Structure 1
Amino acid sequence: MKINKVLLLFLMLVLSAKSYGQTKTIHVYVALCDNKFQGIVPVPEKIGNGKDPRLNLYWGAGYGVKSYLKLKTKDWKFIKQLKSSNPYILDRILFKHATKEVYILADAYDGEQIKPCIEDFLKASNTQNPLKIEIDSKDLNFGGNADLLAYIGHDGLMDFDVNVGYKKTNKKQKDVIVLACYSRNFFSPEIKKANANPILWTTHLMAPEAYTLKSAIDGWINNESGKQIDERAAQVYNKYQKCGIKGARNLFTTGFKK
């Protein structure tokens, strides 16, 4: 009987450790849409002010990251708004999955500071700049220690070069998502230097709205392949954009161009 109790305790400890080890983190870098400082086709003024996250197209508007995850899906629960020491980050929010130990930290960068936003994303993709956040006595790892990294916004690499010093070796190759126009074309050299794994990016013009991000994350949480995540993105993009499934499938892709 004593042996059985010891064995039971051991199994409980193993299961507890396993459960704790399943905690996953996702860090989303959002460059706020900005009519003035980005090379974009202008959008209505209220949603194109890169210094006002509240109504911004990629953040507070209906399909922006904050609004969509907070108000339009039951899969993600808003935890809290957090402060950042980075002056370029105008809003920082934390979400937890409704049924799984998965957390999303999303940062809204001043649209004028799109270059630092992209550079921060690329550094994190290279396992640089780890960020630890404590919530309810639990340490959550973001930045370069996050399990999945995503960039949302204008493809600034169409307009400027970045200056990132990459580490030659990573402890762990990071999965990344890049939702921006022609992101595979323009981000490929940097993602290769970062030694990251692009599970989803694009081949043409697109609207980087949060339903695509959410759908891709769903697939990633379920350990789906890049091809499966690609199909998820195409299906949901067609649902909202009414662009035709063939066009949507041609828009999204996974991995590097062969």
Structure 2
Amino acid sequence: MLTVVLLSLLAVPPVEVEVFVPLCDNALIECGRPPAGNPRALETNLYWGAMYGAERFLSRAPGFKVVSRAPGPNDSAVLRELVLERTAAKGERPVRMRLRAYAGDAIDTALEDFLRAAAGASRADLLVWAGHDRLMDREPPRVDSPAGATPRPVVVLACMSEQYFGPVLKTLGSSPIALTRTMMAPEAYLLEALATTVARHGPTETTAMRTALVEAYARYQRISVRAAGSVFSKLPPSEAAPSRTMESTGTDI
């Protein structure tokens, strides 16, 4: 009994990552065939049920296991909540990812929830937006920071998120860990790379995060590391350091 108690006290708590996934909506952007852009079709939607959609890809990814899968509350914009855990290898921390699939035609609700969470309404160690950059279409919603709350670090996997999300996050006091500079595909292999980086380096290591995202994007998009590097925001000079990829290839990413 004493051994069990000691082990439980020594257990490392998982890093908590909360992911907001508004489903792709053909009424807003070109998602592909009608099923891929049906804003409430979980099993076929580009960002959730397709080959590189969040649930389909991560639930089959090595080292990940589904902890729970449940529909969202009645009359909610959330269609499904999926909780996954990434098993920790030696020297890593376990990672728990809570993904919420929002109806694509309720993307404004998803946006408000994400910004409110970034302002401190969430207790997660890292927040992620993975979907269409809604701020390209509309003015930012008004979001008040909760009294006494601590703004959260965030990653925004969406087209040109540095330009559109960056200023809004700054006003909320949130710290961007990774943003983008160009049009891009917010696909789930980036979430896999993100989880691996968090497990090894923690949720706020910007250099490691950017390197992992660039490498994953290059591999799955079948483009050069240099081209993939142009997709993601550059690190501030104070944080920029030679990464493994840069050292081994001589390529500036």
TM-score range, shorter chain: 0.7 to 0.9
RMSD across aligned C-alpha pairs, in angstroms?
2.5
For residues 182 and 25 of structure 2, what CA distance do their matches in structure 1 show? 20
For residues 30 and 257 of structure 1, what CA distance do their matches in structure 2 show? 31
Amino acid at match of 2:145: K
Q: 1:84 aligns with which of 72, 97, 122?
A: 72
How far did 1:182 drift?
0.2
For residues 257 and 61 of structure 1, what CA distance do their matches in structure 2 show? 38
Identity of aligned residues (%): 29
Q: Which residue does the alignment assign to 1:5?
A: none
Q: Which residue does the alignment assign to 1:121?
A: 114
Change in Cα spacing, 1:186 to 1:33, as seen in structure 2 (3 Å) is same
Q: Which residue does the alignment assign to 1:179?
A: 157
Amino acid at match of 2:217: Y
Deviations 1:29-57 (A, max 9, x none): 00100002xx3235111111111111100
- Is the radius of gyration larger for structure 1 or structure 2? 1
Deviations 1:184-243 (A, max 9, x none): 110012211222221111100001100012102211221262112111111110111122
Contact map agreement 1:94 1:105 (CA 8 A) in 2: yes
For residues 31 and 80 of structure 1, what CA distance do their matches in structure 2 show? 19
Q: 2:9 aligns with which of 1, 17, 22?
A: 17
How far did 1:110 drift?
0.7
Change in Cα spacing, 1:245 to 1:125, as seen in structure 2 (3 Å) is same
How far did 1:23 drift?
2.6
For residues 112 and 149 of structure 1, what CA distance do their matches in structure 2 show? 21
* SS state at 2:129 partner: strand
Q: Which residue does the alignment assign to 1:237?
A: 217
How far did 1:70 drift?
0.7
Query: 1:87-98 maps to which residues of 2 (within 5 A)?
Result: 87-98=76-87
Higher strand share: 1
Deviations 1:140-189 (A, max 9, x none): xxxx0111110011111000123232327764442211000001110012
Deviates most, 198-207 or 97-106? 97-106
For residues 118 and 241 of structure 1, what CA distance do their matches in structure 2 show? 27
TM-score with structure 1 length normalisation?
Answer: 0.81
Report runs of 4+ in structure 1 exceeding 3 Å deviation: 9-18, 168-173, 254-258
Q: Which residue does the alignment assign to 2:197?
A: 219
Amino acid at match of 1:82: A
How far did 1:253 drift?
2.5
Unpaired segments ≥5 residues, structure 1: 1-8, 129-143
Amino acid at match of 2:207: K
Q: Which residue does the alignment assign to 2:22?
A: 31
Q: Which residue does the alignment assign to 2:51?
A: 62
Q: Which residue does the alignment assign to 1:131?
A: none
For residues 222 and 183 of structure 1, what CA distance do their matches in structure 2 show? 25
For residues 237 and 173 of structure 2, what CA distance do their matches in structure 1 show? 15
Amino acid at match of 2:22: A
Deviates most, 160-169 or 86-95? 160-169
Contact map agreement 2:77 2:106 (CA 8 A) in 1: yes
TM-score with structure 2 length normalisation?
Answer: 0.83
Contact map agreement 1:181 1:203 (CA 8 A) in 2: yes
Change in Cα spacing, 1:160 to 1:63, as seen in structure 2 (3 Å) is same
* SS state at 1:54 partner: coil
Alignment size in residue pairs: 231
Q: Which residue does the alignment assign to 2:177?
A: 199
Change in Cα spacing, 1:257 to 1:149, as seen in structure 2 (3 Å) is farther
Change in Cα spacing, 1:207 to 1:194, as seen in structure 2 (3 Å) is same
